[in-house]
């Protein structure tokens, strides 16, 4: 399954890219699974996702929790604050 993953703010800086199309293993079904897999994939992922509890996600443009099933588009970013 092709999945477009977009990275924002310091997640993008640590990953070194803004987005990518990946084909994760079949057992990667949720946002939490994806973050865990990305953290294990390489050094950039290990750095970006060292604290998975700090990562926020959107699936298909809608905010999603760690247990949300991934679709064909996922955005990963740090917590944001308003002002």
Chain length of the chain:
83
pTM confidence score: 0.94
Helix residue ranges, H only, the chain: 9-15, 31-41, 43-48
Specify the 3-state DSSP secondary structure of 74.
strand
Q: Does the pLDDT of residue 1 top 90, yes or no?
A: no
Instruction: Give the pLDDT confidence score for residue 83 in this predicted structure.
Output: 56
Q: How many CB atoms lie within 10 A of CB 57?
A: 21
Q: Does the pLDDT of residue 81 top 70, yes or no?
A: no
pLDDT digit string (tens) for 33-80?
999 999 999 999 999 999 999 999 999 999 999 999 999 999 999 997
Instruction: Give the pLDDT confidence score for residue 14 in this predicted structure.
Output: 97
Give the span between the Cα atoms of 13 and 28, in whole angstroms: 24
Task: Return the CATH class of domain 3-77.
Answer: alpha beta
Question: Token pair for residue 12?
Answer: 């993008």
Instruction: Give the pLDDT confidence score for residue 8 in this predicted structure.
Output: 97
Domain ranges of the chain: 3-77
């Amino acid at each position: 399954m092709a999945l477009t993953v977009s990275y924002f703010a310091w997640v993008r800086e640590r990953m070194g890219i803004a987005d990518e199309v990946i084909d994760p293993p079949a057992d990667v079904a949720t946002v939490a699974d994806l973050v865990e897999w990305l953290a294990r994939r390489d050094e950039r992922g290990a750095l970006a996702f060292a604290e998975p509890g700090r990562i926020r996600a959107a699936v298909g443009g809608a905010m999603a929790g760690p247990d949300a099933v991934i679709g064909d588009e996922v955005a990963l970013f740090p917590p944001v604050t308003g002002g």
